[in-house]
Amino acid sequence: MTRALWPNDPRRLGDYELLSRLGEGGMGAVYLGRAPGGRLVAVKVIRPELAWDTEFRGRFRSEVSRAREVPGFCTAAVLDADPDHATPYLVVEYVDGPSLREVIKEQGPLSGGTLHGVAVGVATALAAIHGAGVIHRDLKPENVLFALGTPKVIDFGIARALEATSRHTRTDQMVGTVSYMAPERFDSESDREAGPPADVFAWGVVVAYAATGRTPFRGDSPGATAARILTQPPDLAGLDGPLRDLVGRALAKDPAQRPTAPELLDRLLATESGKALDQQPELRQAAEAAAHIEPVHTDAVPRRRVGRTVAAAGAAVVLATFAAFVALDDPSPAPSFVAAAPSSVAAVPAAKAKSRVQGPSLIDGLDRPGQWKATPKSDDAAGWCTFEAKRLLVTTSSSSVYTCTGPADTFAGDQTITVDATVVTAEACAAIWFRVVDRGGYQASFCPAEIRLGLDNDGEMIGEQKVASTLFRPGQTHRAAIAVRDETAHVTVDGVEVLSVPLTDPLLAGGKVELGAINDANSGDSMAAFADVELRSPTVDPQVTFPDLTGTGPATSVVKLYAYDPAAHVAVAEPVLYLDGTDYCTRFKIKQGDGRCEQETIIVESHLKVTVPTANRPALTTWDDPTGEGDCIGTMRSGGLCPIKQAAFTAWLKGDPQGLAAITTSGGTATKLAQMYRP
Contact 329, 25 (CB under 8 A): yes
CA angle 326, 328, 329 (to 5 degrees): 125
- Single-letter amino acid code for the residue at 181: M
In order of start, what are the domains of the chain with their CATH numbers?
A: 95-321 (1.10.510.10), 356-536 (2.60.120.200), 555-675 (no CATH)
Residue that wins the pLDDT comparison between 230 and 188: 230
Instruction: Give the separation between CA 143 and CA 283, rounded to whole angstroms.
Output: 18
Q: Which residues are annotated as a binding site?
A: 44
- For residue 474, pLDDT over 90 is answered with yes
Specify the range with the lowest mean pLDDT, choosing from 26-35, 188-197, 627-636. Answer: 188-197
- The end-to-end CA distance of the chain, in Å, is 15
Average pLDDT, integer, range 654-664: 86
Categorize the per-residue pLDDT at 342 as very low, low, confident or very high, splitting at 50, 70 and 90.
very low
What integer is the mean pLDDT of 396-414?
A: 88
300 pLDDT tier (thresholds 50, 70, 90): very low
What is the arithmetic mean of pLDDT over 257-265?
94
What's the pLDDT band for 657 if we cut at 50, 70, 90?
Answer: confident
The predicted model gives 638-662 an average pLDDT of 87
Q: pLDDT tens for residues 55-100?
A: 677 778 877 887 888 888 899 988 999 988 888 899 999 999 999 9
pLDDT at position 176: 64
Q: Give tens-digit pLDDT for 363-384.
A: 999 999 999 999 988 877 889 9
Looking only at Cα atoms, what is the longest distance across the chain? 84
Indicate whether 679 pLDDT > 80.
Answer: no
Q: Kindly tell me if the per-residue pLDDT of 16 is higher than 90.
A: yes
Given 53, 138, 155, 199, the catalytic residue: 138
**Residues of the chain with pLDDT > 90: what percent?**
46
What secondary structure letter does DSSP report for 426?
Answer: T
Check residue 667 and give left, alpha or beta (phi > 0: left; psi -120 to 50: alpha).
left
- 155 has which bridge partners? none
Residues marked as binding for ATP? Answer: 44
User: Can you give the pLDDT at residue 629?
Assistant: 65
Summarised one tens digit per residue, pLDDT across range 96-154 is: 999 999 999 999 999 988 999 999 999 999 999 998 888 898 899 999 999 877 899 99
Mean pLDDT value across the chain: 81
pLDDT at 489: 95
Residue 518 pLDDT more than 60? yes
pLDDT (mean) for 147-172: 62
Q: What is the pLDDT of residue 243?
A: 94
pLDDT at residue number 29: 86
Exposure string of 451-470, with b = 16+ CB inside 10 Å and e = fewer, is: bbbbbbbeeeebeeeeeebe
The pTM of this model reads 0.53
The mean per-residue pLDDT over the stretch 287-291 comes to: 84
Known catalytic membership, residue 138: yes
Mean pLDDT of 272-283: 70
* Nearest partner of 18 among 28, 26, 4, 27, judged by Cα: 4
